[in-house]
Amino acid sequence: MTTAAPRALIELDHVSKFYGNIKALQDVSLEVHAGEISCVLGDNGAGKSTLIKIIAGLHRHDEGRFLVDGEETALVNPREALDRGIATVYQDLAVVPLMPVWRNFFLGSEPTTGVGPFKRLDVRMMRETTRSELLRMGIDLRDVDQPIGTLSGGERQCVAIARAVYFGAKVLVLDEPTAALGVKQSGVVLKYVAAARDAGLGVVLITHNPHHAYLVGDRFVLLKRGAMSGSHTKDSITLDELTRQMAGGSELEELSHELERAPSPTHLGGHPVTDDTP
């Protein structure tokens, strides 16, 4: 007796999005499962940003189906997405650089203590929770009171991931988290992306780097000019093939032929050209 496949946390089924006559996204399908990382790859203008906005509740899709926990839906705003367990971490992190790490961790969701005129921010709880939650994800910060702007780009990404896990996200969408980072910092961020997966979240990793995607990904969707150019599981594609498809495949081969060095003019007609050649 075969067991049914687990239901996807979110699923995009042949989803399209139009801006007037412009087809920003056309017939794109994506599944995100608990404990898995689904990677969306594509160059600039491929449709990755539009896909993020649909999942995050910023824009509604025009065609196809968007399912959350098996229920067809159309998110009306980012707050509804958060309420449904979908957290999005954008490349340009929404942090206040001069505020301490713990304040940014709870930004917009600050707990209070006391009642009436004696109500105040529960600073002690926020400090302790921030420190313990970061440690739980394997992030050992020297001081959660330091301004978050003093952290490296990779460390800020990791704080954002830990924050999403703490506030109960079931799906974590990461927008190019390693785009502006060096090799070492990228490795740090990918380690915490894997930690979020191991914590049971379904992760959507948006990237243009096939090497980073293949290190952690379970599923791969390739976008090109708003349409899907490929959909694979990790056991069905190699890194070399994923890179080739990401780079354009046959288009890249055609370009390489065009860029091949032309025959030397000194050997026209198969004979060396000399000053005496008529």
Residue with tokens 């910023």: 58
Residue 2 pLDDT more than 80? Answer: no
Q: How confident is the model at residue 45 (pLDDT cuts 50, 70, 90)?
A: confident
Which DSSP symbol is given to 87? E
Q: Give me 209's structure tokens.
A: 């780097």
Mean model confidence pLDDT for the chain: 86
- What is the arithmetic mean of pLDDT over 150-171? 89
SS (H, E, C) 13-77: EEEEEEECCEEEEEEEEEEECCCCEEEEECCCCCCHHHHHHHHCCCCCCCEEEEEECCEECCCCC
Return d(Cα 267, Cα 260) in angstroms, integer.
Answer: 17
pLDDT, greater one: 182 or 259: 182
Give me the pLDDT at residue 140, please. 83
The answer on pLDDT for 138 being more than 70 is yes
Closest CA to 219 of 51, 37, 12, 69: 37
User: What is the predicted pLDDT for the residue at 119?
Assistant: 87
Q: What is the pLDDT of residue 184?
A: 85
Residue 220 is encoded by which pair of tokens? 């791969």
Integer-rounded Cα Rg, in Å, for the chain is 24
pLDDT the model gives residue 156: 87
* pLDDT average, residue stretch 71-79: 89
pLDDT for res 110: 87
Alpha helices in the chain (DSSP H): 48-55, 78-83, 101-105, 123-136, 153-166, 183-198, 210-216, 239-247, 250-258
Write the pLDDT tens digit of every residue in 109-121. Answer: 888 888 888 889 8
* CA dist., res. 54 & res. 150, Å (int): 32
* Bridge partners, residue 120, by sequence: 113
Quickly state the pLDDT bin for 69 (edges 50, 70, 90): very high
Whether 250 has a pLDDT exceeding 70, the answer reads: no
Region 58-82 average pLDDT? 91
For domain 10-100+168-258, give the fold. Rossmann fold (3.40.50)
pTM (2 d.p.): 0.82
Q: How confident is the model at residue 18 (pLDDT cuts 50, 70, 90)?
A: very high
- pLDDT (mean) for 197-225: 93
Residue-range domain boundaries for the chain: 10-100+168-258
Q: Of 220 and 76, which is predicted with more confidence?
A: 220
- Examine the pLDDT at 144 and tell me if it is beyond 90: yes
What does the pLDDT read at residue 30?
Answer: 94
pLDDT above 90 for 11: yes
Tokens matching residue 4: 């049914």
Residue 216 contacts residue 197 (beta carbons within 8 Å): yes
Q: Which residues pair with 61 in a beta bridge?
A: none
Q: What is the pLDDT of residues 161-194, one digit of tens each?
A: 899 889 989 999 999 988 878 888 888 889 989 9
For residue 84, the one-letter residue type is: R
Asked if residue 274 has pLDDT above 80, the reply is no
Sheet arrangement for strand 86-89: 71-72, 63-68, 10-19, 22-32, 227-233, 219-224, 37-41, 202-207, 171-175, 86-89
Cα–Cα–Cα angle for 185, 206, 195, nearest 5°?
A: 55
Q: Stretch 218-235: mean pLDDT, rounded? A: 92
